[in-house]
Amino acid sequence: MAPSKLQEWFPWTKAPVIINGPMIGVACPKLAAEVSKAGGIGFISCVVNVEQGSPEVTRAHDDLAAVRQHLGQNAATDDDDNGVVRAGMGCITGHASVGQFAETVVVPVMAAQRPAALWLFAPDGAVRPHARIIAAVRAHFEGSGSSGGYRPRVFVQVGNVAAAREAVRDGADVVVCQGVDAGGHQFRRGAGVISLVPEVRRMLTDEFADRDVALVAAGGIVNGKGVAAALALGADGVVMGTRFTVADESTYPDFRKAQVLQTTDGGSSTFKSPFNDQINNSTLWGPLYDGRAIVSEIHDKFMAGATLEECQAALKQVSPPEEAVKLINTWAGTGVGLVKTGGPAGQIVEDVRRETRETIESLIGLI
């Protein structure tokens, strides 16, 4: 496989480049480190609240330090990496505190820990903070003589071509083209990777030929066959979420891991809807976004015609209360039916990479 921009920017990676999504409640320092050790790009969990004094900001700093420790990197003496930790951090940018991002994250966290990448997703439709965030990152590090050549690459997660175009105009280095088969949160109105990835690739070629922008595919990709398909569509690498939820290092609760491993027929056993947030009264995700989760009897009740209020009342009646928790918020994509084993995150990366190569080699005989 020809080297991609990702391999140039992240020199420890191997083709095809496999990335774990920065999933809240799943990604952690150990998982990110093991993905990067195996030649992928590991991400710690996203930060949401970035206001002054937020414990999430402190956690991001500490998590990056923990990744460095797991990888055996030393910020002061690791000349090969220029002090850069071989992993990334993320931020959900729809929270009201996002205006403080430069002061609370760029300077104290990114400058101290030097993550290789920053992932941005889910801005509020009216605020649109990504251009300011990316400009702040570039101004601080590219304009600083003390940065020593450090330049974090910025990933922006999108769900349609218009959002991809906006992300590149904002200054993104990598557009994460997330198809609607994805688990967890995503654009309400989007497309599957089979049409989204090639159309965004064409847009990048036609409109941004003078820019070095990488494209990675996400959504429904859980094995080497999916990776091979994404590469054929024009992706430089892939993001997997559901596949890593069941990794040994994942912090997904055991009962959720069991649900992922036991679920089949992902198209009918998962449900993409604002209902998955409304049932919890979550206000984080704005009107542009919804989420896909594994179906339970509460979802069946809603799809049969019950109101949201009736479903919330039914959930409150579940006893004991810990059983109610098991009925909602097990985020998974439509590829969940293909996820049948867990194992170490690094082994998952290596297995998927091997299967990708085998799949591509087997296809040669068909042409």
Condensed to tens digits (0 to 9), the pLDDT of residues 221-230 reads 999 999 999 9
User: Could you write out the DSSP letters of every residue in 249-263?
Assistant: T--S-HHHHHHHHH-
Please tell me the pTM assigned to this model.
0.96
Q: Each residue of 237-257: pLDDT tens digit?
A: 999 999 999 999 999 999 999
Q: Could you tell me the domains of the chain? A: 12-252+342-365 (3.20.20.70), 261-326 (no CATH)
Catalytic residues: 185
DSSP 23: -
- 365 falls in which pLDDT band (50, 70, 90)? confident
pLDDT higher than threshold 90 for residue 271: yes
pLDDT higher than threshold 70 for residue 234: yes
Q: Each residue of 75-129: pLDDT tens digit?
A: 544 545 778 999 999 999 999 999 999 999 999 999 999 999 999 999 988 889 9
What pLDDT was estimated at residue 82?
Answer: 79
pLDDT higher than threshold 60 for residue 361: yes
pLDDT higher than threshold 50 for residue 188: yes
Which residues of the chain form beta strands (DSSP E)? 17-20, 42-43, 85-92, 115-121, 153-158, 174-178, 184-187, 214-218, 237-240, 270-273, 289-294
Distance CA 77, CA 317 (A): 57
Q: Are 116 and 85 in contact (CB under 8 A)?
A: yes
Distance CA 49, CA 101 (A): 9
Q: What is the mean pLDDT of the chain?
A: 95
**Closest C-alpha to 190, from 294, 290, 299:** 290
CA 36: distance to chain centroid? Answer: 14
What pLDDT was estimated at residue 145?
Answer: 55
Q: Each residue of 288-339: pLDDT tens digit?
A: 999 999 999 999 999 999 999 999 999 999 999 899 999 999 999 999 999 9
Q: Are 158 and 175 in contact (CB under 8 A)?
A: yes
The percent of residues above 70 in pLDDT, for the chain, comes to 96
Distance CA 5, CA 10 (A): 8
Task: Find the angle CA(50)-CA(56)-CA(58) to the nearest 5 degrees.
Answer: 100
